[in-house]
Structures are given as structure tokens and as C-alpha cells.
Chains A and B, each alone.
Chain A
Amino acid sequence: MTGQPYRLPAGGMIDRRRPVNFSFNGRRLTGFSGDTLASALLANGVHLVGRSFKYHRPRGILSAGTEEPNALVQLESGNRSVPNLKATRIELYEGLTATSVNCWPGVRFDAGALIDAAHRLVPAGFYYKTFMWPRGGWHFYERWIRRMAGMGRAPTGPDPDRYERMNAHCDVLVVGAGPAGMAAAQAAGRSGARVILADERSQPGGSLLNMAANGSEIEPDWSSGVAAELDSMKNVRVLSRTTVTGYFDHNFVIALEQVTDHLGSNAPVHLPRQRLWRIRAGRVVLATGALERPMVFANNDRPGVMLAGAARAYANRFSVLPGRRAVVVTNNDSAYEAALELHAHGMAVAAILDHRGLVDGNAVRGAREAGLDVLPGHAIVDTGGRRRVRAAAVAKIDHDGTLAGPTRTLACDLILMSGGWSPAVHLFSQSGGRLRYDAALAAFLPDHPRQSVRCAGAINGAAETTSCMREGRSAGLDEEPAPEASSTSPKPPVQRQVFARYRAGEARSFVDFQNDVTAADITLAAREGYESVEHLKRYTTLGMGTDQGKTGNVPGLAILAGTLGSPVPAVGTTTFRPPYEPVTFGAIAGRDIGALADPVRQTPMHAWHEKAGAVFEDVGQWKRPFYYPRPGENKRTAVARESLAVRNAVGIMDVTTLGKILICGPDSVEFLNRVYTNAWDSLAVGRCRYGLMLGEDGMVLDDGVTANLSPNRLLMTTTTGNAARVLSWLEDWLQTEWPDLDVYLTSLTEQFATIALAGPGARQVLAGLVDDIDVAPAAFPFMAWRAGRVAGLPARVFRISYSGEVAYEISVPAGHGMDLWMAVLQQRSGYEVTPFGTEAMHVLRAEKGYPMIGQETDGTVTPLDLGMQWILSSKKDFLGRRSLRRSAMLDPSRKRLVGLRTEDPEAVVPEGAQILPTPPSGPPETMIGHVTSSYWSATLRRSIALALVMGGRERESHTVHIPLDHGTLRAEICDPRFYDPEGIRLRG
């Protein structure tokens, strides 16, 4: 017992033989196995655990569960650290280290508390009103506000822990293992259904865990018996420490299992820290219970002010008395049960103040019989104490809450409050279910479901354990509930809580503890016109903390309704959104991190590129060599060397990644006629043709070369990044619009490895590698293809060029890719073959003025904009053709492709730079276009750029201005074909 002055001598579900050492804000403390951090702190008499978000007020432990808004801590340090965890949800383990969040330099003296002294200067919407001046000032203020308002700190290094995802299916998912949920799982399990029962606690029982053993109307070992039965059923899976956080469409539910969080550093290495369950359920039973609401009175946030049900849980479950002498304030009967049980544990009860003027019934009589002082029609008007409550100022109130008598002071070290219970309808609401307001319970209840979901127990407002069990059984079987036996104790009415009549105290009467929203903030917002609950929420931040207003939302709505003079249901409630409880990014990412985050696609020649020191470029999931720097080279010099090699000798490039689609069937040519802008009827076997593909909106989608392999078999190539998209696009048309066309598509991208051989020596190099293909220009002209053996490998050779030089693309079965690559590098034609990467290719094609998909095009560029009228057939329809005639497409001021020559030949313009017709004169500028591609051209010994400019070639030889961070560049608009405009070289 040493050092735990508030621990009761016996009882509870803790293991007194196993003391657990932990540290809080540097203090070494001891609790017991079975404690939460909160219960262990309370056992040690620690109530002050943090500072509030906005005013930095001292805060204590409000609740015993998931609804906790105050007791947020930073757990552990270093990269395992987790910020803003609720002390009420952290299971104690040996060596646990936690610190308070949101205070500097410490929780007992916090510099930010000076804000509290000036709280009248910080009303609702303060940030919106104040920091918007002067214009742009927000950026200055924001840094300081963030520092003051920051909560815990996220670790900066990689998370050392492992996380998993698990997919599961079941007939019945039961959420919550209280009496209703256990009964539901038992009934469903006995019926043979596949059942998953998920509960956030370490053991089943729900509210039964919090009650005194003799305080419940059912047998004391009922829940352990059901738990054992569920464990024995093969068709039932019980997930403890598992919080269902999201309820999505078609009964898809996300749950977070905290597998080893409760073990700390003792966690076995083979287990993940957390596991995210993705569950598809036939039916869902929500037995999520209800959350107790606080009362709103001045200084209701002092450490030592606690929910009555929480104190009951601490005493019964954890064997901790959170104080010696309590004042109880309530508007319903449940607090009487709590007061009686705490009294039985030895706590003095100074008084029970009931907002209701007339009180009667079993609970009230029981309290009176036990000698407790019950004061109907009384309220707390203020509290005293500094870092711990020391007194409650109480007074009589009349039926609408107006003070009706003198104030007197009751000494106490604990204030227990119960503002009624809010059913935990969060998941029901997430599932799309409608809520209704029940005036007698002053609560929103599940009404009309939208999915296959049933609610059972306290979520429906059921107060008694036996009714919860009965509802659970029928929900588990999806039967109509049995008619309720007439209850001996009629449901005690909960009078609507009387709020906010003590004007003087409103500014310190907290509604949302986590976000420091007071009653005054809500009434002010309502007066300023924020009458819609959605506006109110955003303006005051009510319910926008990590607790999503689990405790404060309904009191806040009631205050808004009271201020507006409308009933609560007319005010409505905000939308509940996932997650019910915060989920770590680690659990969401699971194993999809690092190398497993995204698949990597490599060509058969990848190992060679790596060994050659290639710098890689990501194109989709492909790794493509960007350039191959030699010792002493940088990007510019390497790319210059590679592109000069292609212009002057021979280059070799790995173009395996280009998409390849085999098109088969008697209607293949007709199909190409429809999807490409040009005509395909005349393409003979052995020939290739360049094609351009448009969307129906007339915008360029993709381009590539298609070869006629044999009658009714063609091979289409696509750009690397668009391969999958083009295949889906073609499939879409074939399957949905033209099912009459007899055409079949097959992706062959990964079946073949392809290299491009380009440069004036390409023919000679190829000649040395083939013996059954005549490479003479007359026999193998530009835009032809031949089958044969290259370096002894079965191959197709296509004479096509993207560089403007004589070029061949050689395809072999993928398994022979490396053989082909090595054979070309080792050939003895007399030419040195230089490997070149994508960047040299980009430069070479830009020198030729060839637009590149995704570089010159961005989904808003037509073939007319690119100056490619030549590829538009006038004799047939094709996808997108009609769009090119729309008046907007013919507007002469559209941006069109041009070349740009900078006045300073050394200056390489950044891609994306804006183009002005006149020197910049200050905003707003007239912008007539932008740079799409820009390079240093080693061939031309100057910079070149392509751009899209309004009016296009109409502006040729005009000077334009390109403003940059450091000065403005001048450039002349020119023909985009910088090199060999007639195309003599590539046909040579």
C-alpha cells in the first residue's frame, strides 16, 4: 500500500501482488497490475495531470474511459512516443513513462496560464477576428499561436514498431462487450452464426465492471460465464482491446486492436503493436453503451471535478477512492447509485444537489436512508481551490435555473457530477442511421437505420442491466424484442439540464473541456448569428477536439437551444464522422511502408543500369535510367555527352517500359480507325505508323507507334506512364460501345524487352548483329519492321525514331533482354555504343520539336494546339473529332506550341515559368503562356525550350519576357523544330 494513499484496502480487479512502477512528469510512482494510468495516478492522489488547450488552466481526470477530454499525456519518449493519449485508456505496465502535454515549462507552473488571466480578451472566434489584420499578418502570428496551443509532440524519426492489417468477414459483428453485447454475441454464437465481438477494454463486462459486485440485479459471475462460453465457441472470435472506430458503407467496419500497447517494452517481438481490422459484416449489433455528461457551472474544470460514474468505476473496478469528501450534483438518478456505493467504500458525501425540484424513487430514498443529505432544486454556482477543488458554492435554484436563494459553501476535495447520459450513437450515425431526440432522457437515440444494424442496451436509452441483456439477445438473433415485463421501478425522468443562468460565471463554465469552449462562447456565438449547429461548431470549435465532444456536445446544444429559445431537436446535432477514436498512422499504413509502400517495376536490364551507376527516374512504378554519369560528370555534362553520342555516333536506350498492346481480330483496323485520329486502312504488314489518341473532349490522351504484324494482328505501343490507362480506355470502348467489333486486346508490356538503337551509326551496328534481316535503307525503310534474329535471339526490329536520327527498336522475349543489351554493347562494328537515359531522349526529341505526352500535354491540349493538323483524318470519324470543331477549340487565342530561344543562349528557363508579352510591371501581369520543356542542347550549343503560348506561331519572332525570382529573361518565339526540320537525318 505504500505510496498509494487513495487505494482502498481490498477489492477491485487489480492484482495487488504485482506492483507496477511508472513515472509521471518525472515522479516515480507505483500502481498495480490492472490499473490504468489514470487510476494509478488517482491512487497516488495525483489529480492535476495537464493544462487546457487554450487557457492553459489546470486540468484533472474527468472520466474513466474513452470520452476523456482532459487527461491527455505524451506516452514514452523518442520515436516510440505517442502524443495526446488518454490516461484513462492507457493500461499500466512496468516502466511506463508519461508526461503532461500542453504546458511549458511544467504542469504546476505553466507560462501559458497567463492567457487565462486575460481570458476575457480571448472570446469565441478570437483568432478569426484579431489575427487577420494586417493583411498577411496571420502568417506572422500563426507560429506563436501554434506554439502556445500545441498539444503533444509527434516523433520525428521512423516508428520502430510493427503494425498489421487484417481482413475479416462475419455474419454478426457485435460492438461492445457489456451486458447487451455479450448477450447478443452469446445468442448469435449459439445460433451457429460466425460472430466477432469487439470491445475496447482488456476484459468483457462493460458497465458491470464498474458496478459494485452486489450493485447489479444479475448474478455476479454472469459475465465471466458468458465470456467462457464465447471462448469455447469455434464460430465466435472475441477481440479485446479493440476499438471499432469507423462504420462505412455496406457494413464495412474498421477496428483498431491494441495488441501489445499494454505490455510496453515487454511486448514479444513476434507481435505487432497494433492491428487494424477491416471487417465486412452481414449484420452489426451496436451495444456501445452510453457516456455520462458533465454539468456546466463556473470553474467546473478544476482538478477534482469528475463524472459520478467515473468515480464509481475507480472505486469498484480499480479500488481507488478519488477523494475523501464529495459534493454530488446531478439531474438524474444514476448519481445516487454512485454516491451510495462510494459512501459504502468510506467516502464522505457532503450533499447531493439535484437540479430537479421534486425527487423521489428508489435511488433517492436509498440515499436518504443511508443518511446522505439530498438537496432538491439545488445547483453548484462556483468552485474553489487552485490546482485541486477545495469547495463548492451551492445555492437553491428555481425551475428555470434562476438563483433562488443565498449561496453557501461546502468544503470538499471532490465534486461528482452527472448531467445525464448520452447514448454512444457515434457508429450508428456514421452508418447513416437517423437519430431522434428523446425529451425524457434528454438524449439523442438511434432511430431509423440505413444499413443492416441493430442497437441494443444503453445506446437505446435502456437503464437496467436486464433490459440491456434482453435487447442484446434479440438483436443477436435479429428477432423482434420480447415485450418488456412491466418494470417495478419506472424509468426515472431526467429533467432537461438547467444551464447558463448564472451569467457571472458563464465565462468560466466549460462545456468542451478539451477545446476550452465555455457557455459564454456559445451564447456569444448565437448572438453573433452562428445559430446553425454546424456554424457554431466551427466558430467556437465545440466538439472539434480529438475527443470529438463525447462529453460536451449535448450540453453545448442545450445551451444553444436555450439561447435561441428553441427546443433541442430543432437545433439538431452535428454529423458524427469516423474515427470514433483516433487511429495511429502506423496502423493505417500497416506493412505498406518503406520498400513495400508501392510496387517497383524493373526491366530485365535493370541490374546493368544499376552497376553502370545510372541515376533513376520514376515513371509510374517503373525505374528508368535518367542518365549515366561518369566520374566527374554532373547531370548537365552527362546528358550532353549522351545526346551528342546519339547525334554523332550511336546510343542505346532501354525502352522496355513502353506499353505494348496486342490487338487481334478481324475488326482490328476498323478499331484503330476509331481510336486514332489518322487512317489505318492502308497500313501493310511489315509497316508501322505513328498514331495520336484523343479523349472525346478532343484533348490529347496518348501517342505511340502501331505495327501491322500479320493480317488481323497489330502491336500498339503506348507511353510508359499511360500503358494501363490506354488499355482500360480501349477495353471500355470495345466492351461498352462497340461490342459488335471482333477485337481482342492483350497487354504484352512485360513479355518483351526492348532497346532503342539510335544515331548515324545505328544501321552499321545493327548490320553486325543480324544475318537474316536486310538493313539496307531501300529494303528496310523508315517506319517498317522486320522479324529475324538479332545476336542470335528471336527479335522484331522496328525502324522508328524519337530522336530524329536513324533508329531501330529491337524487341526480344523479356528473358533475353539482358543478352540483347550485352550483345549490342559488345558488338564490333567500330562504333562505340553509348547508353543514354530518358533525359537525353527528352533533349533529343525537344530539339526535333516533338511534343511529349504529359510534358507538352496536360489534358487541356488538342492536336491543333500542338500544330499536328497533319495527323487528323478528314475522311472518317474518330474519338474526339467533333470536339475539335467546337467554337472554343477554334479560338485563335488558344495556347499553342511554340519554340523559345532565350536571348542569353546560356540561360535555361525553368519549366513551368510564365510568359509575359511585355516586361513585368507589377501584378496583375498579363500572362500569355508557360514553358513546358526546357533544356541545354549540347547539339545546338544553346538552351532550347518548348512553350504553350496564346496565339502560338502567330507570335513567331516576337520577344517575350519570363519573370523569375532573380530578374527577367527575354526570349524569342520560334519554330519548335530546332534541329533538322525537314527530317532528312532520320530517313537516311
Chain B
Amino acid sequence: MLLIPCPWCGHRDESEFTCGGEAHIQRPADPAALDDADWADYVFMRTNPKGRHRERWCHSHGCGRWFNVERHTLTHDIVAVYRMGETPPDHGEADGT
């Protein structure tokens, strides 16, 4: 049961949140221009690192806001929390470190 610092509400129990999977997946500007493989990559393919991972969380039973969490998938350490649209804090490679 993680303890997640919501950027608006502070530390709350994981049960108040919904995880939205990998962050920073940009919807292609012109989907029609993509071939099947590239489109499928956007829709289905996600990284699954052992290590630091940037993901989207929503405080669904609280303020209802989406934000980003950088979490270590092995230790569950929450390395950083930042709002939508903010640049992720730079401390080296996010994946697999």
C-alpha cells in the first residue's frame, strides 16, 4: 500500500488513487499518417522497466487531478512527483536505473 504525495492534497493512501500507466505517451498529431505498426506502438506498447518509471496517477477519490509520479518499480520508492505539463525532474535516465 503506497503512500502517494498528491501535489494538491499531500500524502494519501494508495487506495485513493488510480494508476494510469506510463507517462509521457504523446498522442500522435496525425494518426492517419501512421502505419499500423507505429499506431499499435502508441496504443499498446509500454515500457516495463525494473527501476525508475514515470507514470500517471489520478487522485480519483480526492481532488480528481491527474499528475505524474516517478516510482522505482522494485523498491516502490517515489522519486519525484510533478504536475501535468511540468518537465520531469532531471536526475539521469528514468528507465532501468
Contact = CB atoms under 8 A, between A and B. Distances in A.
Decide if the interface of chain B is mainly helix, strand, loop or mixed.
mixed
Interface residues of A, number: 24
Contact of B36 (A251, A739, A881, A887): A887
B39 A250 contact: no
Contacts of A635: none
Contacts of B40: 886
Interface stretch (B27-35, B46-54, B88-96): B27-35
B18 A883 contact: no
A735 B2 contact: no
B66 A252 contact: no
Interface in A617-672: none
Contact of A736 (B43, B60, B84): B84
Contact of B2 (A250, A432, A877): A250
Interface string A683-706: 000000000000011000000000
A883 B1 contact: no
Contacts of B39: 882-883, 886
A737 B20 contact: no
Contacts of A739: 84-85
B31 A250 contact: no
Contacts of B75: 432, 450
Given A252-B1, A432-B75, A450-B75, A877 B43 contact: no
Contacts of B64: 731
Interface residues of B, number: 27
A696 B31 CA distance: 11
Contacts of B2: 249-250
A780 interface: no
A450 to B, nearest CB: 5
A882 B32 contact: yes
Nearest to A735: B66
B3 interface: yes
A252 B32 contact: no
Interface in B1-43: 1-3, 13, 18, 20, 27, 30-32, 34, 36, 39-40, 42-43
Decide if the interface of chain A is mainly helix, strand, loop or mixed.
helix
A697 B36 CA distance: 12
B66 A732 contact: yes
B3 A881 contact: no
B80 interface: no
A280 interface: yes
The listed residue with most A CB atoms (<10 A of its CB), out of B18, B31, B39, B44, is B31
Contacts of A252: 1, 3
Nearest to A450: B75
B3 A250 contact: yes
Contact of B43 (A251, A696, A737): A696
Nearest to A278: B1
Nearest to A252: B1
B56 A249 contact: no
A728 B32 contact: no
Contacts of A887: 36
Interface in A717-754: 728, 731-732, 735-737, 739
Nearest to A882: B31
A888 to B, nearest CB: 8
Contacts of B34: 882
Given A250-B1, A739-B85, A728 B76 contact: no
A248 interface: yes
A735 B84 contact: yes
A877 B28 CA distance: 11
B24 to A, nearest CB: 10
Contacts of B66: 731-732, 735-736
A248 B1 contact: yes
Interface string B51-73: 00000101010001110000000
B31 A736 contact: no
Contact of A732 (B36, B42, B58): B58
The listed residue with most B CB atoms (<10 A of its CB), out of A432, A732, A882, is A882
B41 to A, nearest CB: 12
Nearest to B42: A696
A886 B3 contact: no
Contacts of A251: 3
A785 B32 CA distance: 36
A737 B13 CA distance: 26
Nearest to A728: B60
A10 B18 CA distance: 61
Contacts of A249: 1-2, 76
Nearest to B26: A737
A697 B3 contact: no
Interface string A224-251: 0000000000000000000000001111
A752 to B, nearest CB: 21
Given A732-B58, A886-B39, A886-B40, A250 B76 contact: yes
The listed residue with most A CB atoms (<10 A of its CB), out of B1, B3, B40, is B1
A342 to B, nearest CB: 45
B44 A697 contact: yes
Contacts of B27: 696, 737
Contacts of A883: 39, 43
B27 to A, nearest CB: 5
Nearest to B28: A882
A735 B36 contact: no
A728 B84 contact: no
A981 B64 CA distance: 44
Contact of A280 (B3, B36, B56, B65): B3
Contacts of A697: 43-44
B56 A736 contact: yes
A735 B85 CA distance: 9
A250 B60 CA distance: 20
Nearest to B23: A736
A250 B3 CA distance: 6
Contacts of B3: 250-252, 280
Interface in A51-70: none
B43 A732 contact: no
Contacts of B44: 697
Contacts of B32: 877, 881-882
Given A249-B76, A432-B75, A736-B84, A886 B56 contact: no
A886 B43 CA distance: 12
Nearest to A889: B36
A735 B20 CA distance: 12
A543 B6 CA distance: 41
A427 to B, nearest CB: 15
Interface in A439-458: 450
A281 to B, nearest CB: 10
Interface string A882-899: 110111000000000000
B69 to A, nearest CB: 13
A886 B36 contact: yes
B17 to A, nearest CB: 12
Contacts of B60: 728
Nearest to A249: B76
Given A252-B3, A732-B66, A735-B65, A881 B31 contact: yes
Contacts of A728: 18, 58, 60
A437 to B, nearest CB: 22
A249 B58 CA distance: 19
A138 to B, nearest CB: 36
Interface in A243-263: 248-252
A359 to B, nearest CB: 44
Given A450-B75, A885-B36, 8 more contacts: A252-B1, A696-B42, A736-B84, A739-B85, A877-B32, A882-B31, A882-B34, A883-B39
Top 4 A-B residue pairs of the complex, sorted by shortest distance between their CB atoms: A882-B31, A252-B1, A250-B3, A735-B66
27 contacts: A249-B2, A249-B76, A250-B1, A250-B3, A251-B3, A252-B1, A432-B75, A450-B75, A696-B27, A697-B43, A697-B44, A728-B18, A728-B58, A731-B66, A732-B20, A732-B58, A735-B65, A735-B66, A735-B84, A736-B56, A736-B66, A736-B84, A737-B27, A881-B31, A881-B32, A885-B36, A886-B36
